[in-house]
Structure 1
Amino acid sequence: MYFSIPDTTEVSAKRSSNQQAHTLFNIHINGIHHCSLRYSQLHAFHDELQRSFPVSMIHIQPFPPKKIFSLSLRETDERRLLLERYLQSVVQHKSLIASSYVNDFFFNAQRETFLNESINKTFPEKINFTIHLLNQHKITIENLSANDNTSKLLDACANKMQLDNEYLTYFSLFFYELKNNQLSIIRPLFSFESPYLSLEKALKTNGNYCLVFKRTYWDLSQDLKLIDNRRTRNLLFIQSQYDIEQSQDLYPSGIYQQLKILFDNNSLKEYILLARTSKFYGYIILKECSINDLTTNKLSQCILAIGNNELVSHLYRDDKKKANSFAKEFSFKVTRIRCWKLRKIL
């Protein structure tokens, strides 16, 4: 996940609940606004982390110090950058981001921000969620609360699909864009989010966003732990179909006809095992991307495939209508990505 603080909001004394002007730091997660917090709130957050996780906090970026006098615009911007670096280092530390305190803090911060931004607006008592699978089949989760977090919605999905609890850790919820009958991944739904609030905000930005229940792991050997259970095998089959459809243009192969025969014969397990031999099985495929081609010094359209400890870029030819529409392929081996983001160029 990528935490950023791209800007701040100045709140006048008239608008402030305590009649004091102050600055809010707008915290974004993977490019989407999550919450807005005062420096004092973040300082209290830092103090609690130091008290509860003294060893882990040794490796964290320094927290910007307090100032006696009011900050100038330049000093406020410096504080914004320091807070951004601080939060980025916190969320990259597994023991911190997995703690109940960090999850509760950002969950409550999201709720508080929503209430502050929405005068006279209250949470609905009960909410129904529409959850998509990767084959665009929909399931409805009824009677949840706006105060429920991602874990509660995930548990409700498992109950609806009669999925045993022992298998739930292999799946998670993700934001996808459903456009032109195609699902494209956006980002995971994190444990410290309110699914209701995050979806409300996402839909205001892009009305094509939806929630998808899918496999969450990168280690594809985990498939073998799920393949013999009927319900998890069905979910794996849906994932396998999606992976094959997404990567078919990248990897011409003779297995597609065999897969069709297995599908027609309802041989789901055999279909999954054969699909696993495809080059880009289990990869995240990001279409309509751009990359700076250093050989031509031009911004070129491409498709990115991410998985198996590598990032592969397929550059389009100028004429995409040709049978082989890709001109070049770049592959970068990746052993660890601490933090990364993709930026859409408009």
Structure 2
Amino acid sequence: MHFSIPETEVRSDENGSSYVAYNIHVNGVLHCRVRYSQLLGLHEQIKKEYGNNVVPAFPPKKIFTLTPAEVDQRREQLEKYMQAVRQDPILGSSEMFNSFLRKAQQETQQIPTEEVQLEIYLSNGQKVKVNILTSDQTEDVLEAVASKLDLPDELVGYFSLFLVQERGDGGCTYVRKLQEFELPYVSITSLHSPDYRIVLRKSYWDTAYDSDVMDDRVGLNLLYAQTVSDIERGWILVNKEQHRQLKSLQEKGSKKEFIRLAQTLKYYGYIKFDPCITDFPEKGCHVIVGAGNNELNFHVKLPSDQMKEGSFKVTRMRCWRVTSSQVPVANGTANPSSSSKCDVKLELAFEYLMSKDRLQWVTITSPQAIMMSICLQSMVDELMVKKSGGSIKKQMQKKRLNGSFQRSDSQQVVKSPPLLDSPDPSREQVVKLSTKLSSVSLRGLSSSNSASDISGNDFHGNYSFEGIGDDDL
């Protein structure tokens, strides 16, 4: 996740005294406001728990009131501090750090702790209403959903909660996977928009894990609903004959066979992103990016209007980074510079092994750059787990035995600032309740969704790669 402190505010406390508030943004959206003293308290706690050698440098106290220039300097220093803590594989995943952010989020949004009903959506649009506390963290809410659906506890780790924005054209934008440092009810409420919803979706990439999920009735229904939804929105490519076969299997109620056929289709299991801009193969190209099968897939429209397709395998990415910048937005007045509002420009850049001796940076400019990076990180994590002989089930068992889950070593292997969260495939046990999922249909699916491969126009960058090793990452 991308942490930044792009701005400060002068606010008043309950006694009427003014103070400087530092606005912590996550993925370009305000997460919480904190005072310097609060961050200093967190720093002292971390230092006491983990030692001076682990904790990054913290901006020192000042005796006198800070000048505006000094406030801005402290803002930059605190931003670097928060980024350094979050990138550290131990500090960034610590309950101390995450609980601080959750508490600060709740205090900033001024939402008291109370029982509420939260709506979670399934891929077919069905709502699952769960009773939670406003202070419940992401894992608590995920477990509540699993409990309501009667999803076995050993399968909870195969799914995650995602923040999704519905678009006016009927499509949707995946904003991010909800993290352990946030409170889902507070996050969705603070957006003040009915366009946002929380969606349950599988959080793994290897289709081999589908077999584990399909062995359970509820897991099968969830995967089936997601597959149908992905086909309907055009994320999975289907030609006329495949469409006919899918309809036939659906009419027979053959959900497993339906999924197995879908697994053979192009882009099965991919997440598609909104159209954006890339500098590859030429600067300023419009592109649609998809993440899946351990790659980023590009559908690029060149300035000449020629269409090209290619893929970048995660095993050939030496590193990647996400950068953000503030772009002023005019407020419609005669003096645009007087506007205090800014848009956040996000870029994902990765260094790719184009050939044996040639590395090249490829940049994507997109509001979903961080979501793309999260996908890359989770692919690497999954490959590393698989390489070590592990699996989601084994990690679940490990957590139940040890009472905690250790982050994978891939966090340290991939030198991609900011190091992003791996999907936590390990969850606590949940209480089972009996609930059935409604059936879904291929409504709106037509042969117009079919597409032919553009193999003749593939661009350089699509490679096969045998094995995976530390040097390759």
Q: What TM-score comes out, normalization by structure 1 length?
A: 0.82
What residue number does 1:44 align with? 41
Deviation readout 1:238-260 (Å, 9 max, x if unpaired) = 22223334455768696444333
- Partner of 1:103 in structure 2? 98
CA contact (8 A) 1:177 1:185 kept: yes
- Shift of the 275–90 alpha-carbon distance from structure 1 to 2, 3 Å rule, reads farther
Report if aligned partners of 1:174, 1:185 keep a CA contact under 8 Å in 2: yes
Partner of 2:152: 164
Identity of aligned residues (%): 36
Displacement of 1:123: 3.4
Structure 1 equivalent of residue 9 of structure 2: 9
Alignment match of 1:225 (pick from 189, 212, 220):
212
Cα deviation code 1:28-87 (max 9, x no counterpart): 1112211001111112112212222339x63x6432233333333233222222222222
Q: What does residue range 38-117 of structure 1 map to in structure 2 within 5 Å?
A: 38-54=35-51, 58=54, 61-115=56-110
**Aligned residue for 1:304?**
289
Q: Give the counterpart of 1:333 among 313, 316, 332.
A: 313
Structure 2: gaps (5+ residues):
323-345, 348-365, 369-473
**Which of 291, 299, 305 does residue 314 from structure 1 map onto?**
299
One-letter amino acid matched to 2:19 = H
Residue 31 (1) aligns with residue 28 (2): yes
Equivalent AA in structure 1 for residue 39 of structure 2: L
Q: 1:184 touches 1:286 (CA, 8 Å); kept in 2?
A: yes
Alignment root-mean-square deviation, CA = 2.9
The correspondence for 1:263, drawn from 241, 250, 254, is 250
State the 1:96 CA deviation. Answer: 2.6
Q: Which has the higher contact order (CA 8 A, sep 6+)?
A: 2
Q: 1:253 to 1:330 in 2, by over 3 A?
A: farther
Amino acid paired to 2:4: S
Note closer, same or farther for the CA distance 1:90–1:19 as it changes in structure 2 (3 Å cut): same
Distance 1:305 1:27 in 2: 29
Q: Does the 8 Å CA contact 1:23/1:38 hold for their aligned counterparts?
A: yes
Residue 200 of structure 1 corresponds to 189
Task: For residue 317 of structure 1, report the CA deviation from its aligned partner.
Answer: 6.9
Deviation string for 1:235-294 (max 9, x for gaps)?
A: 111222233344557686964443333222221112222222333222220123233466
Quick one: which amino acid aligns to residue 290 of structure 1?
Answer: I
Q: Secondary structure at the match of 1:287?
A: coil
- Using the TM superposition, name which of 213-222 and 333-342 deviates more: 333-342
**Greater shift in the superposed pair: 102-111 or 46-55:** 46-55
CA 1:155–1:223: 2 relative to 1, 3 Å: same
Question: Bigger shift: 192-201 or 94-103?
Answer: 94-103
Distance 1:64 1:251, change over 3 A: farther
Which string of whole-angstrom CA distances, capped at 9 and with x for unpartnered residues, describes residues 105-127 of structure 1?
11111112122xxxxxx638432
**Residue number in structure 2 paired with 1:242:** 229
- SS of match in other structure, 2:276: strand
Q: Is the 8 A contact 1:247 1:280 kept in 2?
A: no
- String of CA shifts for 1:207-235, please: whole Å, max 9, x gaps: 30011111122343322221211111111
Q: Answer yes or no: is 1:186 the counterpart of 2:175.
A: yes
Instruction: Tell me how far apart the structure 2 counterparts of residues 178 and 281 of structure 1 sit (CA, whole Å).
Output: 21
Q: Distance in 2 between matches of 1:229 and 1:31?
A: 39
Deviates more, 1:286-295 or 1:17-26: 286-295
CA contact (8 A) 2:138 2:182 kept: yes
Number of matched pairs: 324
Structure-1 residue corresponding to 2:136: 148
The equivalent of 1:119 in structure 2 is none
CA contact (8 A) 1:237 1:268 kept: yes
